Amino acid sequence: MDDVRAPVEIGQILAGKYRIDRVLGAGGMGVVVAATHEELDQPARRARERRRRRALKREARAAVKIQSEHVARVIDVGTLDTGAPYMVMEYLEGTDLAHKIAESKTLPVEDAARFVLEACEALAEAHAAGIVHRDLKPANLFLARRADKTSMVKVLDFGISKSTVGGAGGITSTQAVMGSPYYMSPG
């Protein structure tokens, strides 16, 4: 994605510790970059978000509560000097399921079944922790490449998740519509 324009530059140090290696994507909600932790020399995926600070914290807290290997790990959250919130996640090699489907048009039944089961594992743990994802779709199912070149599903983007415990609730009223229309439940 070399043609992506972002308000960050390659080599720039953010939050005093993350060196931007490359921009992975940019959109209305923020910028996603591959960055290296300067002290640890550890790669990470860093999302510099423009959306509300509460939504970013909710996403980070939800992902941290879910210990499934099928949920992307959150490493750090904070606020830049500019006041913009950020979240650092594990760096994942691979592609999301939406791109895989667009590329292949069809998936082998064995792969499709495995992807669904792995996503269900993550969601079962999320539900056990009282968290409802609310935007499950192929673009939020990342096929992460393991060291042995096999892939595993990692559920991404708990940004509009809802907590069902402790009365915390989500970010919406009962009348609000959240999620991606093609993937929302009909009720």
CB 62 within 8 A of CB 71: no
CATH 3.30.200.20 assigned to domain 13-90? The reply is yes
C-alpha to C-alpha distance for 87 and 60, rounded to whole angstroms: 7
pLDDT at 27: 66
Q: Quick one: 94-179 is in which CATH superfamily?
A: Transferase(Phosphotransferase) domain 1 (1.10.510.10)
C-alpha to C-alpha distance for 169 and 174, rounded to whole angstroms: 10
Residue (of 13, 34, 6) closest to 81 by Cα position? 13
pLDDT at 172: 46
Q: Taking the chain (187 residues) in consecutive chunks of 10 residues, what is each chunk's mean pLDDT?
A: 62 90 78 87 67 65 80 84 82 92 92 95 88 80 93 80 56 49 51
Residue 135 among the catalytic residues:
yes
Tell me where in the chain the CATH 3.30.200.20 domain(s) lie: 13-90
What is the number of other CB atoms lying within 10 angstroms of the CB of residue 55?
18
Considering the candidates 3, 81, 135, 148, report the single residue annotated as catalytic: 135
pLDDT at 174: 46
Query: Which CA distances in Å does 61 have to 100, 130, 145?
Result: 29, 12, 25
pLDDT at 6: 59
C-alpha to C-alpha distance for 132 and 164, rounded to whole angstroms: 7
Tell me where in the chain the CATH 1.10.510.10 domain(s) lie: 94-179
pLDDT at 136: 81
- Please enumerate in sequence order all residues whose Cβ is within 8 A of that of 69, keeping only pairs 6 or more positions apart, or say none: 152
C-alpha to C-alpha distance for 114 and 129, rounded to whole angstroms: 23
CB 110 within 8 A of CB 127: no
